[in-house]
Structure 1
Amino acid sequence: MTPRPLPAADHNWWHQPALVLAVCGLVALFLTLLVPGSSFVRTLLTTATTGLSVLAVTRAATAWLHPSPRLLPYLYFLSALIGAVLGVAVNLLLRAHEGELATLLRRYPDIVARTFGVLVIIAGVVSALFLARDRNRRMEMAYHAERAKNAEQEKMLVETQLKMLQAQIEPHFLFNTLANVQSLIDLSPPEAKRMLGHFNDYLRASLTRSRDAHGTVAQEVQLLSAYLSILQIRMGERLRFAIDCPPELETLELAPMLLQPLVENAVRHGLEPKVEGGTVSVAFRRAGERLSIRVSDDGLGLGASSGDGVGLANVRARLLTLYGDDARFTLEACDGVTVTLEIPLRP
């Protein structure tokens, strides 16, 4: 039978021995005052040996055995009692070797009897303390497990909401794109062919990203490039875009389809209503140990592109679920709208 590993909380291993020695010191002082002429040092040695034996046997039993919660009280009591008897036996053998055992039994038989009675009481107290500590630890582990379960459920909920949002967005985008391709076939076959090429790239990147739990910056750049290229053909010269991503950042981890709602928000609410259109820029930068992503447009600003939109709210919720307090989301309005995301670097 192999011992189970000690919990992470046991790295302060000296806490329990220090507490045991402090209690043994108080017991030794009490016994010294109770027995006239007794030595405090000798009594302290006796109580300390007994206390540390109780601690050693109890910890060894809990480390090697795997009792059910129903049997824990009996295990703790029996371990504490065995440890107490072992500690007293060691001290009695030392006293017998020095010729003190016979004198002790002859002069203070009632004290010896009361000592064993006290040992039983101490064993019960120690077992109750260990049992309470074990229950507290189990409750703490259950609490953390429940928190982790709730966090995972919240993450799944956000991902489900994202997929629902994507399911609502994509049909509209797909039907518009197909309608544009159909109209371009008669007006400009080369443009129709070019749009179909970008549309194929977008579908391939979109399907791959939506099925992956993790992705890379390069994959997100590919998706955004295909998406904006389609919109650029539809809007003509009214839409310009630029994606700036240093090659060393392309292999970094990035959640799938995290940026598309931001780009779509910029085009739909910032640039499409503007007569002369404008430019969408996506820039990736490294800021220390964080990845900074800026999505900006020079459209109509917050008057048309509300910061409380479904897409932006979904991105905020997804960042909170994926990165917690390590992620930052800022929204600025200056000659358009700029959204900045900062997330931890994950290769």
Structure 2
Amino acid sequence: MPTAAHTTLATGEVRRSLWRNLLVTLLFNTLAGVFFALSSDSPTWRVMLTIQVIGFSVFAAITFTFSVIKPAPAREPWYFAAAVFIGALVGLAFNWVARVDELADVISQYPHYLAFSLFFFLLAAGVIGSILWGREKTSRMESAYHLEQAKRAEQDKLLIQSQLRMLQAQIEPHFLFNTLASVQSLIDIAPDRAKQMLGLFNDYLRASLARTRNEHSTVRQELDLLQAYLGILKIRMGERLDFSLSCPEPLLDAHLPPMLLQPLVENAVSHGLEPKVEGGTVQVTLDIDGGRLVASVIDNGLGLPEEVRGQGVGLSNVRARLATLYGSAAGLSLQSSPAGGVTARLELPLNHG
């Protein structure tokens, strides 16, 4: 179903096409009028006015046909022929009204001249009509193309939102249940830690809810979410997890699509640090490199298993969303460290808020 944006786009295209056709008609009429005025014994003003009347009559007839009547494609040639004939008749009528004092003499002495005039005006109207008809068909094709592009953009937007909800659905229930289970187990043995975890969990839910209500997110919002997320994991894993978040102040208000960093952090913890007995460190850094936003998630854990490397659900979703949002202008790369661990590097165009 066409949306209001699609309707506005289509209306704007029709209006621009109408003005373009009007200017083309005026230009062609003027050129044709000059040509025929130079090759005719009639007064220049009469020739110019007659050609202008023919051209604009054809323009009005064709515009009315395609904008109001809107015939089926199979019947368009008939309407086109009618528009040309009407334009020629109007031009003929104007021509003879303009020289009404000569009409009786010309009809009586040169009856064939009337037929020649009609043929001439039909030819002129046919040329003008053909130009306008061709432009009208081209304009409709362009309008249909732009409307289709707008629909695709709307579909891409819905796809991105669907992917975001799916990714959140994959991460949040598992994380939510584990967090609540941890809080329950800590209430009796470490109430202070349970209280701290609940506070961080409250921060996480608040940030997550705010993000789902907005189409866009910023680096600051995503880092706030990661701060709460990693803080909760830190309480659960204790000394086995350390983390740091680093970002220059001017970059905090830059746009950053949601759910790009969190899956990378989750992979680093679940596949790299949790299976490692002594745990490890996760470093999240954001910076500007060559006018692009570069985000790195670095861990010193066991690394990604071969069956997961680059093909996990979270990583696949991140790559798919990058392709949808930026095409080939953004990318995600994974690099193993000889000393252990993985660096996930995210690059995308920088867009300040």
The 3 A distance-change label for structure 1 pair 328 and 257 is same
1:332 maps to what in 2? 334
Aligned to 1:299, the other structure's residue is in SS state coil
Partners of 1:282 and 1:19 in 2: CA distance = 65
The 3 A distance-change label for structure 1 pair 58 and 254 is farther
* Mapping for residues 1-347 of structure 1, pairs under 5 Å: 6-7=15-16, 40=39, 51-59=51-59, 66-70=67-71, 80=84, 84=88, 110-124=112-126, 126-287=128-289, 290-303=292-305, 306-325=309-328, 327-335=329-337, 336-347=342-353
Structure 2 letter corresponding to 1:263:
V
Q: Is the 8 A contact 2:28 2:128 kept in 1?
A: no
The 3 A distance-change label for structure 1 pair 11 and 274 is farther
1:278, distance to aligned residue in structure 2 (A): 2.7
Q: Is the 8 A contact 1:73 1:127 kept in 2?
A: no
The 3 A distance-change label for structure 1 pair 264 and 319 is same
Q: Is the 8 A contact 2:268 2:299 kept in 1?
A: yes
Partners of 1:265 and 1:221 in 2: CA distance = 17
Q: Is the 8 A contact 1:263 1:295 kept in 2?
A: yes
Aligned to 1:138, the other structure's residue is in SS state helix
Partners of 2:17 and 2:244 in 1: CA distance = 50
1:228, distance to aligned residue in structure 2 (A): 0.8
Give the CA RMSD over aligned residues. Answer: 4.1
Task: In structure 2, list runs of 5 or more residues that go unmatched.
Answer: 1-10
1:61, distance to aligned residue in structure 2 (A): 6.4
Encode CA deviations 1:10-67: one digit per residue, 9 max, x unaligned: 6698766666677789x86xxxxxxxxx964769x78776555444444466779951
Structure 2 letter corresponding to 1:152:
E
Structure 1 letter corresponding to 2:281:
T
Partners of 1:318 and 1:9 in 2: CA distance = 39
Q: Is the 8 A contact 2:53 2:90 kept in 1?
A: yes
1:106, distance to aligned residue in structure 2 (A): 8.7
Q: Is the 8 A contact 1:73 1:131 kept in 2?
A: no
The 3 A distance-change label for structure 1 pair 124 and 169 is same
After TM superposition, the structure 1 stretch with the greater mean CA deviation from structure 2, 208-217 or 48-57, is 48-57
Encode CA deviations 1:106-152: one digit per residue, 9 max, x unaligned: 98653552231232244345435433432332233223323332342
Partners of 1:238 and 1:81 in 2: CA distance = 88
Structure 1 letter corresponding to 2:208:
S
Structure 2 letter corresponding to 1:177:
T
The 3 A distance-change label for structure 1 pair 243 and 100 is farther
Q: Is the 8 A contact 2:332 2:346 kept in 1?
A: yes
Partners of 1:294 and 1:24 in 2: CA distance = 69
State TM-score, norm by structure 1. Answer: 0.75
Partners of 2:293 and 2:148 in 1: CA distance = 31
Q: Is the 8 A contact 1:328 1:343 kept in 2?
A: yes
1:171, distance to aligned residue in structure 2 (A): 1.6
Structure 2 letter corresponding to 1:7:
R
State TM-score, norm by structure 2. Answer: 0.74
The 3 A distance-change label for structure 1 pair 70 and 306 is same
Partners of 1:183 and 1:274 in 2: CA distance = 23
The 3 A distance-change label for structure 1 pair 295 and 146 is same
Aligned to 1:117, the other structure's residue is in SS state helix
Partners of 2:321 and 2:82 in 1: CA distance = 52
Aligned residues between the structures: 332
Aligned to 2:215, the other structure's residue is in SS state coil
Structure 1 letter corresponding to 2:211:
R
Aligned to 1:7, the other structure's residue is in SS state helix
Partners of 1:244 and 1:42 in 2: CA distance = 85
Partners of 2:38 and 2:136 in 1: CA distance = 37
